[in-house]
Amino acid sequence: MPAGIMIPAMNMPSMLGRNGDVGGSFGFSSSLSLSQPHLMEAHHQLHHHLDMAPQNTTSESDIAAAVRIRGEDEFDSATKSGSENQEGGASGGDQDPRPNKKKRYHRHTQHQIQEMESFFKECPHPDDKQRKELSRELGLEPLQVKFWFQNKRTQMKTQHERQENTQLRTDNDKLRADNMRLREALSNSSCPNCGGPTAIGEMSFDEHHLRLENARLREEIDRISAIAAKYVGKPVVSYPLLSPPSAPSCPLELGIGGFGGQPGVGGDMYGAGELLRSISGPTEADKPIIIELAVAAMEELIGMAQMGEPLWLTKLDGTTTVLNEDEYIRSFPRGIGPKPDGFKCEASRETSVVIMNHVNLVEILMDVNQWSTVFSGIVSRAMTLEVLSTGVAGNYNGALQVMTAELQVPSPLVPTRESYFVRYCKQHADGTWAVVDVSLDNLRPSPSARCRRRPSGCLIQEMPNGYSKVTWVEHVEVDERGVHNLYKQLVSSGHAFGAKRWISTLDRQCERLASAMATNIPTVDVGVITNQDGRKSMLKLAERMVISFCAGVSASTAHTWTTISGTGAETDDVRVMTRKSVDDPGRPPGIVLSAATSFWLPVPPKRVFEFLRDENSRSEWDILSNGGVVQEMAHIANGRDTGNCVSLLRVNSANSSQSNMLILQESCTDSTGSFVIYAPVDIVAMNVVLNGGDPDYVALLPSGFAVLPDGTTAHGGGIGETGHGGSLLTVAFQILVDSVPTAKLSLGSVATVNNLIACTVERIKAALSGEVA
């Protein structure tokens, strides 16, 4: 809208009289409205008036203060035309070619001003009807009334802005003074937690960000602790801030991908089980329920780990304990509900001292990749769905995460156990760490669920010299109806998935990690690898080989096994499956055929393990060695038991085409089971590994054996016992049947692999036939 210049005459002496002299008075409505093209003319007129005004009547500043640049929407066509209120009805003053024309102005009376002031207080924006009525009562033109209200609104707005500016200036001065006072106080103080400077300007951006994150995490753990106190009815214990873990990380890079993809990632190439595939992360409404369930599960785990009789009853052998289910229900009435129909309870507790500090143990348990790797013989797949809390003060105290996992026995005859659960880690007042799992199946009911975990986990107590005392509790309810008859005794005894198997595996893996860190390697033994980098590379390669074997031998829902029936009464069923290997430097490209079978031997497990791992007896069962002499070139000891080692074997065959074949073998054993796993490797690639090179590019197709007790011995079939117990042996081969991934599998290839595994089984049976348990 065009702007105009307003020269109000209210309370201002007149400058132009009837005779051209200074005299008379301006009328209130005599405002000069100029459209944009006439600003220059108005400017000249204004200077003309100023030149004529006497010095003692008004000042130039008074005139300038009266000038207004107007732009309100209320200007109508009358303002655009520059109408003025003149005595005698003159019009078009701004377009009159005679700028010196004399005009007569008048002031508003005091009564008119008072009436309009009173009306303004009630209605600052009168409409046309109100303006006409007011003008009739006061004897003014409606346009005069309109301009008065416009000027009054502008005046009030200016006064209001001036008051606001004054107030803001006062507030700003107060804030500046407070800021200076606080800065001075901060410069002389220190942080009560860390002792460092508290002035923000004296710390880096990263440090400031970490402090904010630390405050957020402390609030989070306080919230969880408050829920815990409300739920279990005990006061919240305040724990001191702990510094971030300073212990060295594990020497091996855990979490190396196996044949089926990296454990814990959940993105393997075989697909996913129905339960694991259908589960998503928790909703916001579920999270408070999950937190309360985790807190109650932690309380229950502590009780299960520390209580004795009558909760745990000792058997007649004096060493085995069983859970008193009636006492359990009385002791822990809150839980995940009654046992489903058709499910069986399995509960066990074991304690052991392991060679690893408590910080690294907690890290392994709370990192899904490390957990899957260390327990690769038990955990076939695992995945973290959502982390509800990462812990506080740089450690896992208060960490809470929702997970899925699939647990296995190394045989295609035992169904895996899939679980959807929350894992909660907490440090208690006495310094003991606890990690507990509890199923969340009630939040996501699934008709295919065959297992649920009641509060299970472990207590970790720090011991001198880097050792830890671990108490493990396993408590599950499971449907065992899909287990093969060969394994029913082992599974029903609770030892296939029990606490003893978990803690024995942990003990063995801790020794393996300790051996990788060892620097005082004796050099007197022939074949011992003393190069530290070479040892680590070879152990890393062997670890990947073991993970690949364990991931491909079980009845995981990610596998599609096809059963080939045996040809005779003495021949066991063989299960086969095919996989395509594409763009993976860790295994050769093409079509890989896997075959596995399990059978019973009337021989103690320890004897079977020693027979299979001994290179001197290898020619009795290894058909691919063609009767050649097998010699150990190098080995790395992995623990106190001589059976725990990684070996590099050479086959001295009469056939010159196989003269360069090497075999990488890892044998491992504990009281619950043992493995002998091997894979042919290229001699050039192994030289790189032994010199500390990257082992990830060495192609492997592992085969091997898993030896388990049959569960008939007095103490649950421990592998180290030589009583009246037999062995459950699983044989698994992986053979590259075609180097082209897009090729079709021929029936001849299947028959060849089937004959290979059948002949191996017969040779083992024949070699051990004279050794009856």
| Of 590, 587, 564, residue with least CA distance to 757 | 564
Token look-up 């929350």 returns: 422
Asked if 355 and 508 count as a contact pair (C-beta separation under 8 A), the reply is no
pLDDT reported for residue 713: 59
Please say whether the beta carbons of 438 and 293 come within 8 A. yes
By DSSP bridging, strand 629-637 and strand 590-601 are unpaired
Q: How many whole angstroms separate alpha carbon 731 and alpha carbon 739?
A: 24
Residue 259 is given by DSSP the state: T
Name residue 608's amino acid. Answer: V
CA 194/CA 389 separation, integer angstroms = 23
Strands (E), 244-301: none
Helices vs strands, H then E, count in the chain: 18, 21
pTM confidence score:
0.64
Task: Check the CA dihedral 68-69-74-79 and report its sign.
Answer: positive
First to last CA, the chain: 108
Residues 172-208 as b/e (b if ≥16 CB within 10 A, e otherwise) read eeeeeeeeeeeeeeeeeeeeeeeeeebeeeebeeeee
- pLDDT profile of the chain (773 residues), mean per 10: 41 39 38 39 42 41 38 38 39 45 68 89 90 89 90 92 92 90 75 55 65 75 64 41 37 35 35 50 81 91 90 78 86 80 89 92 94 92 90 85 92 90 91 93 74 93 92 92 88 88 94 78 61 86 91 74 56 76 78 89 92 89 79 85 89 64 90 92 87 87 92 54 72 86 79 87 87 56
Helix ranges restricted to H, 379-433:
none
By the 10 Å C-beta count (0-12 exposed, 13-18 middle, 19+ buried), 333 is classed as exposed
List, in sequence order, every residue forming a beta bridge with 382; answer none if it has no partner. Answer: 405
> What distance in Å separates the CA atoms of residue 753 and residue 747, rounded to the nearest whole number?
10
